Amino acid sequence: MSVTLRKLKENFGGALFDLGSAFGDDFAVVHKDRIVEVSQALRDDPDLRYNFLIDVTAVDYPQRRPRFEVVYHFFSLPLRHRVRLKAPVDGSDPEVPSLVPLWKGADWFEREVWDMFGIRFAGHPDLRRILMYDGFEGHPLRKDYPVNRRQPRVGPRN
């Protein structure tokens, strides 16, 4: 077991649904309410030093409960380690705490997840669309998004 997985298990065992390694990377499935605390520990622990948030994305599993997983990819530049955190999020109230207070770079990643999947990030300083236009209805990466849906037309700005 890697030092990352060992420390996560020791310090956050009650907040973890699963942990292990797959495809050469460590992963942990974390309760969404503890994602900020676990992420901060990854960043601040001198044995881990995950100082780079590579990406935040989501996956839609309409047949599962909870429906969504918000996925965070972290990298330790000094130690050259990777870890993936996954936070299951219910489809009826898709919200997870924002990581912007820990990583300013999470700002655009979280806006993209909001725009594409409709998952809100509590505490985000400016949660608004980033890829789709303001009048766009729905969230196009949800598996139940109607692909033939007609969207409102965008007129010229004054």
Do 99 and 53 touch, CB atoms closer than 8 A?
yes
What pLDDT is attached to residue 100? 98
- Residues 10-56: tens digit of each pLDDT: 999 999 999 999 988 999 999 999 999 999 999 999 999 999 999 99
- Residues 68-77: tens digit of each pLDDT: 999 999 999 9
What pLDDT is attached to residue 80? 95
Cis peptide before 78 (omega within 30 of 0): no
d(CA 96, CA 105): 17
Domains of the chain, by residue range, sit at: 3-91
Do 30 and 85 touch, CB atoms closer than 8 A?
yes
Do 158 and 77 touch, CB atoms closer than 8 A?
no
What pLDDT is attached to residue 115? 97
Do 114 and 122 touch, CB atoms closer than 8 A?
no
- Alpha-carbon 142 to chain mean position: 15
CATH dotted code for 3-91: 3.30.460.80
- Residues 86-121: tens digit of each pLDDT: 999 999 989 999 999 999 999 999 999 999 999 999
